[in-house]
Every structure is written in structure tokens, then in C-alpha cells.
Amino acid sequence: MTIDNAPAFLEWVRERSQLFNGAYDSTMLRNDAFYFTRLGTFLERADNTARILDVKYYVLLPQDEGVGGALDYYQWQSILRSVSALRAYHWVYRDRLQPWSIAELLMLRREMPRSLISCYDQITRYLDLIADAYGGKRGECHRLAGEAHAQLRYGRIQKIFQSGLHEFLTEFIDRSILLGSEISNLYLT
């Protein structure tokens, strides 16, 4: 693998991912295997969105140039492109890229499929379906998912920024890891 081969390889990975998603979504029985596949998809998506947002906000803050400069603008644009949200951002906000609006889109806007709230809408849904498939078996994972879902559902971006976006995202990532462990403990061990 060389740097010159990376774009072609990444395109191959993207195509194969889309083929897999289309095949299982169109052909798989709607049973616990499907529910776990979807649950894993949304857990991973929420985790990745939180990590991408945290990296930009905490690690890539402009040093030589002030916030809002050209480098900062292109970094935010790259973040939105990496989650296929640049067009959605302009559709929703019709404004220049603003960090708090980008964070709101990627965290608290349900209409954005990769947002944390959208992912947790699906996580709680699939956990409920799995519980029903296992005779109503519920545990700590359901409480954790419900708590995170409520925090996002009733959260306000201004309040999150006031208390610290990095701190919020770090805690969110840690709780998502714990949620995955609790799901595994309850259903897969």
C-alpha cells in the first residue's frame, strides 16, 4: 500500500461497505441477527461521529491562526465532508460554517443520519427489538442507552459548549464503550 494507492483502496472499501449494507438490508430476515447488525452499525456510527468532532474541536484548534481563519474553515469543511454532511449543513443552516452549528448538526439534529441523536434513536429502537426477541430480557444496557438518548434529546448546544464540548464528547465516547460492553454481557455471553 502506497499513498498513491490509498484513494483507489478507500473507494474499494466504500463500495464493498455499500454492497454489504444493501445486501443485508434487502435480504436479511428481521430477527435478532438483523437487530444486532443494525445496533452495531449505529453504535459504531455514533462513536465515530463523536471522535471525529472531538478531534477537530480539541486537537485541531488553530494555533498560528485564529479560530475562524482559512485553515479553521477548511478543517471544518473536511469534517463535514468526512461524514457526508457538507450539503446537509448548508441546507439546514444556510450560513457560513460555524463550529457551534456544525456541532449541533452532528450531535443534536435528528434529520442528520450520522448525528448522535439520530444514532441513539436507532440504538434504543434496536435494543427494544432485541429485548422483545429475547423474551423481554432487559438490563443495564437499556438504562445506559436511554440515559444517553435523553441527554441528547433534551440537550442544547449552548449548554454543551458552556460545560465543554471536549468533556461532553469524551464522556459520551466512554459511555458508548460501556454500553457496548453491557450489551455484550447481557446478550452475548
The residue range of the domain holding 171 is 36-188
Is residue 158 included in any domain, yes or no? yes
Nearest to 183 by CA among 9, 14, 35: 35
Inside any domain, residue 138? yes
Q: How do residues 30-77 score in pLDDT, each as one tens digit?
A: 999 999 999 999 999 999 999 999 987 765 455 555 555 677 788 889
pLDDT for 67 equals: 52
Whether pTM exceeds 0.85: yes
**Who wins on pLDDT, 64 or 126?**
126
Answer yes or no: is 92 within a domain: yes
* Domains held by the chain: number: 1
Look at residue 9 and tell me if it is in a domain: no
pLDDT digit string, tens, across residues 145-160: 999 999 999 999 999 9
Report the interhelical angle of 140-153 vs 165-183 (nearest 10°). Answer: 150
Is 58 part of any domain? yes
Kindly state whether residue 130 falls inside one of the protein's structural domains: yes
In a domain, 70, yes or no: yes
